[in-house]
Amino acid sequence: MPIYGGIEAGGTKFSCIIGSDPDHILKESTIRTTTPEETLPRVIEFFARTTETITAIGIGSFGPIDLNRASRSFGYITNTPKPGWRNTDFVGTIGRALKISIVFDTDTNVAALGEVKWGNAQAVDHVLYMTIGTGIGGGFIIKGKPLHGLLHPEMGHMRIPHNWKQDPFAGICPFHGDCLEGLASGPAIYERWGIPGESLPATHQAWALETQYIATGLVNLLCALSPQRIILSGGVMNRVELFNTIRVKMKELSNQYFDHKQLLDNIEEYVVPPKLGKRAGVLGTLALAKDAFDS
Amino acid sequence: MPIYGGIEAGGTKFSCIIGSDPDHILKESTIRTTTPEETLPRVIEFFARTTETITAIGIGSFGPIDLNRASRSFGYITNTPKPGWRNTDFVGTIGRALKISIVFDTDTNVAALGEVKWGNAQAVDHVLYMTIGTGIGGGFIIKGKPLHGLLHPEMGHMRIPHNWKQDPFAGICPFHGDCLEGLASGPAIYERWGIPGESLPATHQAWALETQYIATGLVNLLCALSPQRIILSGGVMNRVELFNTIRVKMKELSNQYFDHKQLLDNIEEYVVPPKLGKRAGVLGTLALAKDAFDS
């Protein structure tokens, strides 16, 4: 069985893994995200130390990233607001040091792939995976392939109606103010109420607002992408009661227009958490490498 | 050279065509859209009368339509608000009468295919085609294949921020009120100002509002789909000056986040009209049939 490596690159930590699938993991480690000069050598060291022959490494990275193979900055983290990481040659640095093939994609596309391969989206052709946490991001898989394009999806940055009457908060996105991420990410909840989401009681008005914004974003993505399953993950979704309030609000916002029984009658199976939980991303890196190199 | 048939089914007329490509059209006709009982037999008669051997017929239809081959209502126009057309077995009626293979898709996906094959999106992998007229609809082509999914995209029905201060108009979508179609379609312009768009002067405030709503919708679709080209068509876009105001507004709304030179520097080549003009849809029906049957 071929062995793959994986790197899930996040804003607070890099998760590194070596293995074949969720039942055959040989080695794992977590490295704190500081600067590229410090973090990337530690990642390289993790893989350099292994005695296994690794076929390829899959990387799922925070973004924005450059996925265009014809571009001079292919494999880079590009204009991220994260201090120190702007214009970092992620793929080049890892690939040159380890002399190994790298497959590169966004963190959310990779987590979506993990769920398609081993989780709650197996045998589903069109899968939307959203993470609602420190940021809001989305990945979309069509028949096993992540959607790219001019850049890659940046679903958290769509504009939605801002409920100004109940919510005079301006939003926290440094680029767009009150885009979906600016209104509904974990930091937006904290800034708006002065209390982190996990400390707000279930009865707090924060959750009705959160439900409205997330459900609106999802119905917009339903309009654009027509996914067959929607997987919601991320820190904010640890409030598991949000799953049901979001489902109810989505039906209300659709208002019978999207005439499909999965949406109207079986929405509990349509909008679901990841089966792999917090492991979707790191296991997805193995799926990414495997899909590219298994023949 | 194989000969194909095509039907572009719209709310006011059905355009029927027989040919191979834009340079080899054998026969064309337009049939007024009344009821299915009246219109569909006329369409059938058009094809039945031809002496050519037709390999297959491509249909691009107004919607919503059922594209799921496993569904009992595959090939139907489903819950359209258009009087008389709800639950019409379009593909079955045409296919049984003419004993010919039918390829079925949305009007916008088909027009997008026409532009990919013979128009302004040749050799472009990810193409968004929007029509802004009586309704607002979008089609998306990925590497030559139209995007479907649970249903099919319904891009006109996304929610966008409603500029209530300058625009107290409630919107005209019978399902969603002030969704994009409810705010920015041709009938919305007419209802809001009491004058049809084509009679409003270029200096009228209607156009700044229209620009804002359409550009917001397009930036949202950029977030979801990351298209490499955007084609804008439809009656409202006959106001050609909208192309530039929309481009400028899209850049403003992106606010440097989508860091790609095509968006920032070459937006004139990124957001374009259809090269085939009003013929994109009907020629697209030939592209649809051709793609399915050329080997």
pLDDT digits (tens, 9 = 90+) for A59-76: 999 989 999 988 999 999
Long-range contacts, stretch A88-92, CB < 8 angstroms, 24+ apart = A88/A36, A88/A40, A90/A9, A90/A36, A90/A40, A90/A59, A90/A61, A90/A65, A91/A59
pLDDT digits (tens, 9 = 90+) for B168-208: 999 999 999 999 999 999 999 999 999 999 999 999 999 99
Q: Are the CB atoms for A121 and A109 separated by under 8 Å? A: no
Relative orientation angle of helices A90-98 and A36-48, to the nearest 10 degrees: 30
pLDDT band at A152 (very low <50, low <70, confident <90, very high): confident
Hey, of A124, A151, A267, which one would you mutate to test binding to chain B, going by the most B CBs within 10 A of its CB? Answer: A151
For residues A179-197, give the mean pLDDT.
Answer: 97
For residues B143-154, give the mean pLDDT.
Answer: 92
SS3 labels along A43-70: HHHHHHCCCCCEEEEEEEECCCECCCCC
* B79/A259 Cβ within 8 A: yes
| Parallel/antiparallel/unpaired status of strands A54-61 and A229-233 | unpaired
Q: What is the CA radius of gyration of chain A?
A: 19
Distance from the Cα of A48 to chain B's closest Cα (Å) equals 34
* B159/A219 Cβ within 8 A: yes
* A225/B220 Cβ within 8 A: no
| For B261, nearest residue in chain A (alpha carbons) | A150
* B225/A147 Cβ within 8 A: yes
Chain A residues 181-210 with CB within 8 Å of chain B: none
Q: Are the CB atoms for B54 and B4 separated by under 8 Å? A: yes
Q: Angle at Cα A276 formed by Cα A270 and Cα A278, nearest 5°? A: 110
Distance from the Cα of A151 to chain B's closest Cα (Å) equals 6
- The answer, yes or no, to whether residue A295 has pLDDT greater than 80, is no
Nearest-CA neighbor of B111 among B238, B287, B272, B243?
B287
The residues with which B126 forms a beta bridge, in sequence order, are B142
pLDDT recorded at residue B82: 87
Tokens of A49: 């130390």
Percent of chain B with pLDDT over 70: 99
pLDDT recorded at residue A250: 96
Distance from the Cα of A175 to chain B's closest Cα (Å) equals 6
Nearest-CA neighbor of A26 among A42, A10, A5, A40?
A5
| For A149, nearest residue in chain B (alpha carbons) | B226
Residue B78: burial class (beta carbons within 10 Å; 0-12, 13-18, 19+): middle
- The structural domains of chain A, ordered by start, are 4-109+278-294 (3.30.420.40), 123-273 (3.30.420.40)
As a whole number of angstroms, the distance between CA A292 and CA B101 comes to: 36
pLDDT band at A256 (very low <50, low <70, confident <90, very high): confident
Contact of B170 with chain A, judged by CB distance below 8 Å, is answered with no
pLDDT digits (tens, 9 = 90+) for A3-22: 999 999 999 999 999 999 99
Strand, helix or coil at A244? helix
> Closest partner residue to A223 among B78, B155, B263, by Cβ?
B155
Nearest-CA neighbor of A254 among B64, B22, B165?
B64
Distance from the Cα of B262 to chain A's closest Cα (Å) equals 8
Chain B residues 9-68 with CB within 8 Å of chain A: 64
Q: Are the CB atoms for A65 and A90 separated by under 8 Å? A: yes
pLDDT recorded at residue A82: 87
Q: Are the CB atoms for B260 and A151 separated by under 8 Å? A: yes
Q: How far apart are the first and last CA of chain A?
A: 12
ipTM > 0.85, yes or no: yes
pTM: 0.96
> Closest partner residue to B153 among A138, A223, A255, by Cβ?
A223
For residues B253-263, give the mean pLDDT.
Answer: 82
User: Tokens 């979906």 map to which residue?
Assistant: A180
SS3 labels along chain B: CCEEEEEEECCCEEEEEEEEECCEEEEEEEEECCCHHHHHHHHHHHHHCCCCCEEEEEEEECCCECCCCCCCCCCEECCCCCCCCCCEEHHHHHHHHHCCEEEEEEHHHHHHHHHHHHCCCCCCCEEEEEEECCCEEEEEEECCEECCCCCCCCHHHCECCCCCCCCCCCCCECCCECEHHHHHCHHHHHHHHCCCHHHCCCCCCHHHHHHHHHHHHHHHHHHHHCCCEEEEECHHHHCCHHHHHHHHHHHHHHCCCCCCHHHHCCHHHHEECCCCHHHHHHHHHHHHHHHHHCC
Contact of B267 with chain A, judged by CB distance below 8 Å, is answered with no
pLDDT digits (tens, 9 = 90+) for A130-149: 999 999 999 999 999 999 99
Tokens of B225: 């789909």
Tokens of A140: 């979309």
Nearest-CA neighbor of B106 among B70, B149, B72?
B149
For A53-91, letters b (16+ CB in 10 Å) and e give: ebbbbbbbbbbbbbbbeeeeeebbbbbbeeeebeebbbb
Give me the amino acid identity at A290.
K
- The answer, yes or no, to whether residue B30 has pLDDT greater than 90, is yes
As a whole number of angstroms, the distance between CA A261 and CA A123 comes to: 19
For A116-131, letters b (16+ CB in 10 Å) and e give: bbbbbbeebbbbbbbb
| Parallel/antiparallel/unpaired status of strands A24-32 and A13-21 | antiparallel
* A154/B223 Cβ within 8 A: yes
Residue A6 phi/psi, 5-degree rounding, is: -150, 145
Which residues are CB-contacts of A206 (< 8 A; sequence separation ≥ 6)?
A189, A192, A193, A197, A200
Distance from the Cα of B229 to chain A's closest Cα (Å) equals 8
Mean pLDDT (chain B, rounded): 95
* B226/A224 Cβ within 8 A: no
pLDDT digits (tens, 9 = 90+) for A237-246: 999 999 999 9
Distance from the Cα of A179 to chain B's closest Cα (Å) equals 10
